[in-house]
């Protein structure tokens, strides 16, 4: 049968698969995202309302930490009317490494005030009872533009769709950018959002929320740049959905001659195989193989997804591994359907501790990969740099904080998998 040239593109497309994970890449060139960045100085949703500087202090030495990541985290499909940004900080002191509290994450959020809320405020101000309106909860939560066809999640880098590049309209990117993150800081400000629909978070009663010292202690004034340590170099972020090669069928090995008169031949081969299997850290090998397919990735993003674990034997691995789907280095997975449904709903635990601010379950949102260290420490001399292999960030599943139009800052969960000696 003759070979058809028109079939070549189809054959090529069948050699790889695309996952629901968005990968972030560091870029010195401006991208369409003017908010997200690796390194540099943080910018806030509202420049006149920075967080308490206590949130950026190392819990070990109490010194100010350096910004590792700032991410534009708007998720209109999950939290309509919410403005979100995520920040990851790390302490540079060598004596603080491998110690809990030397890395921290902050979620900056502001929820728009709904029309009903505005009416209630106005009525209260003039002494009239607020008018009651019947709400369609389903429409108010999910009545937004759907996610791209090839992903079950909203694009964390964008509130728009239709672009061929998921990062040209990414939660890393809502607006065109022709300036670097550093030069954009002085111009950063966000206008108040008005007349947006009621959100999920505004329907959750927080009146009985547990007390959280990190969010209720007296705020410390955010210091001037001159009082902060020298930042890491600043990069723009670009992104695309993860593509993985589909492994080819392993050929059946040819016939091997074995001396049947040698009783030790078969047992020796089995012992060698068992020894080889026992020396392999399958979790780390899966981690390394997966990253090797897109080696320049600094960030992996999948809201309400599962992190790719560096190890299952450290504290973070022991916490999260029991909830992981059975995945492979080429992206396929087998997960319990009930767990998957609950995960999308945000109501099931995947091992991450619940939100300390409102008590809701936390969900996975992003992780930093070792390539981020390479980019951030490009100007560093010597070998005494950061020593982590994976940084997992879990966030409140209902995006609490910032209700009624206020700017809120909530500390989120960070799981650091430290580099293990002897691993590449």
Of the pLDDT bands very low, low, confident and very high (cuts 50, 70, 90), residue 210 is very low
Question: What whole-number percentage of the chain has pLDDT above 90?
Answer: 50
Nearest Cα residue to 293 out of 230, 243, 355: 243
Q: Could you tell me which residues are beta bridge partners of residue 25?
A: 238, 297
Q: What per-residue confidence (pLDDT) applies to 88?
A: 98
The answer, yes or no, to whether residue 207 has pLDDT greater than 90, is: no
Q: What per-residue confidence (pLDDT) applies to 122?
A: 54
The answer, yes or no, to whether residue 65 has pLDDT greater than 70, is: yes
**237: which residues sit within 8 A by CB, 6+ positions away?**
24, 25, 26, 27, 31, 33, 36, 37, 38, 71, 167, 172, 298, 299
Q: Once rounded to an integer, what is the mean pLDDT over residues 54-61? A: 96
Q: Which residue has the higher pLDDT, 23 or 327?
A: 23
Lowest mean pLDDT among 19-23, 56-60, 338-342, 375-379: 338-342
Q: Which residue has the higher pLDDT, 114 or 297?
A: 297
Q: Once rounded to an integer, what is the mean pLDDT over residues 84-95? A: 96
The answer, yes or no, to whether residue 165 has pLDDT greater than 90, is: no
Helix (H) or strand (E) holding 238: strand 235-245
Q: Under a CB-based contact definition with an 8 Å cutoff, are residues 182 and 41 in contact? A: yes
Of the pLDDT bands very low, low, confident and very high (cuts 50, 70, 90), residue 137 is very low
Distance of CA 327 to the CA centre of its chain: 19
pTM value surpassing 0.85: no
Of the pLDDT bands very low, low, confident and very high (cuts 50, 70, 90), residue 417 is very high
- Please state, as a whole number, how many other Cβ atoms lie within 10 Å of the Cβ of residue 117: 17
Distance, in Å, from the CA atom of 30 to the CA atom of 409, rounded to the nearest integer, reads: 28
Model pLDDT for residues 95-124, shown as the tens digit of each residue: 999 999 999 999 999 998 766 555 555 554
Q: Which residue has the higher pLDDT, 338 or 9?
A: 9
Q: What per-residue confidence (pLDDT) applies to 142?
A: 31
In degrees to the nearest 10, what's the CA dihedral of 244, 346, 338, 414?
60
Q: What per-residue confidence (pLDDT) applies to 280?
A: 67
Q: What per-residue confidence (pLDDT) applies to 167?
A: 43
Pick the most confident of 128-132, 199-203, 303-307: 303-307
Of the pLDDT bands very low, low, confident and very high (cuts 50, 70, 90), residue 247 is confident
Q: Once rounded to an integer, what is the mean pLDDT over residues 379-384? A: 76
Question: What whole-number percentage of the chain has pLDDT above 70?
Answer: 57
The answer, yes or no, to whether residue 160 has pLDDT greater than 80, is: no
Q: What per-residue confidence (pLDDT) applies to 203?
A: 33
Q: What per-residue confidence (pLDDT) applies to 381?
A: 75
| Cα-based angle 183, 157, 196 (whole degrees, multiple of 5) | 95
The answer, yes or no, to whether residue 5 has pLDDT greater than 80, is: no
The answer, yes or no, to whether residue 416 has pLDDT greater than 60, is: yes
- Look at the alpha carbons of 222, 224, 228, 232 in this order and tell me if their dihedral is positive or negative: positive
Q: Once rounded to an integer, what is the mean pLDDT over residues 57-79? A: 97
Lowest mean pLDDT among 87-91, 121-125, 248-252: 121-125
**372: which residues sit within 8 A by CB, 6+ positions away?**
26, 38, 68, 69, 298, 299
Query: At 398, phi and psi to the nearest 5?
Result: -115, 5
The answer, yes or no, to whether residue 52 has pLDDT greater than 90, is: yes
The answer, yes or no, to whether residue 70 has pLDDT greater than 50, is: yes
**3: which residues sit within 8 A by CB, 6+ positions away?**
none
Q: What per-residue confidence (pLDDT) applies to 216?
A: 47
Q: What per-residue confidence (pLDDT) applies to 113?
A: 74
Query: At 344, phi and psi to the nearest 5?
Result: -65, -30
Q: Once rounded to an integer, what is the mean pLDDT over residues 410-420? A: 95
Q: What per-residue confidence (pLDDT) applies to 96?
A: 95
Of the pLDDT bands very low, low, confident and very high (cuts 50, 70, 90), residue 320 is very high
Q: What per-residue confidence (pLDDT) applies to 38?
A: 98
Q: What per-residue confidence (pLDDT) applies to 215?
A: 44
Distance, in Å, from the CA atom of 34 to the CA atom of 89, rounded to the nearest integer, reads: 20
């Amino acid at each position: 049968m003759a070979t058809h040239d028109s079939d070549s593109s189809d054959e090529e497309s069948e050699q790889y698969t695309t996952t629901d994970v968005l990968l972030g890449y560091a870029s010195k060139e401006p991208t369409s995202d003017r908010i997200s960045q690796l390194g540099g100085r943080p910018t806030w949703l509202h420049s006149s309302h920075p967080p308490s500087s206590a949130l950026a202090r190392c819990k070990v030495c109490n010194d100010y930490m350096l910004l590792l990541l700032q991410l534009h985290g708007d998720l209109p499909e999950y939290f309509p009317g919410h403005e979100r940004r995520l920040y990851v900080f790390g302490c540079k002191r060598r004596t603080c490494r491998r110690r809990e509290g030397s890395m921290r994450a902050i979620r900056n959020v502001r929820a728009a005030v709904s029309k009903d809320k505005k009416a209630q405020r106005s009525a209260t101000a003039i002494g009239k009872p607020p008018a009651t309106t019947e709400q369609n909860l389903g429409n108010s939560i999910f009545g937004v533009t759907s996610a791209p066809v090839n992903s079950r999640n909203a694009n964390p880098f964008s509130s728009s769709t239709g672009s061929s590049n998921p990062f040209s309209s990414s939660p890393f990117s809502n607006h065109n950018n022709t300036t670097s993150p550093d030069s954009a800081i002085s111009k950063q400000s966000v206008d108040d959002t008005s007349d947006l629909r009621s959100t999920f978070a505004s329907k959750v009663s927080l009146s009985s929320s547990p007390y959280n010292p990190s969010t209720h202690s007296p705020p410390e004034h955010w210091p001037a740049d001159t009082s902060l340590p020298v930042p890491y170099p600043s990069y723009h972020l670009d992104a695309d959905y993860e593509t993985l090669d589909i492994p080819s069928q392993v050929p059946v090995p040819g016939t091997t001659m074995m001396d049947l008169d040698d009783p030790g031949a078969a047992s020796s081969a089995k012992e060698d195989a068992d020894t080889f299997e026992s020396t392999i850290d399958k979790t780390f090998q899966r981690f390394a193989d997966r990253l090797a397919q897109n080696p320049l990735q600094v960030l992996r993003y999948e809201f309400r997804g599962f992190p790719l674990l560096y190890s299952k034997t450290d504290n973070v691995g022991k916490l999260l591994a029991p909830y992981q789907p059975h995945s492979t280095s080429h992206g396929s997975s087998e997960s319990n359907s009930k767990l998957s449904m609950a995960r999308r709903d945000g109501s099931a635990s995947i091992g991450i501790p619940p939100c300390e601010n409102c008590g809701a379950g936390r969900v996975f949102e992003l992780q930093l990969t070792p390539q981020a260290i390479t980019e951030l420490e490009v100007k560093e001399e010597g070998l005494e740099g950061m020593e982590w292999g994976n940084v997992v960030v879990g966030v409140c599943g209902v995006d609490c904080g910032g209700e009624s139009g206020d700017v809120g800052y909530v500390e989120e969960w960070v799981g650091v998998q430290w580099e293990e000696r002897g691993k590449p």
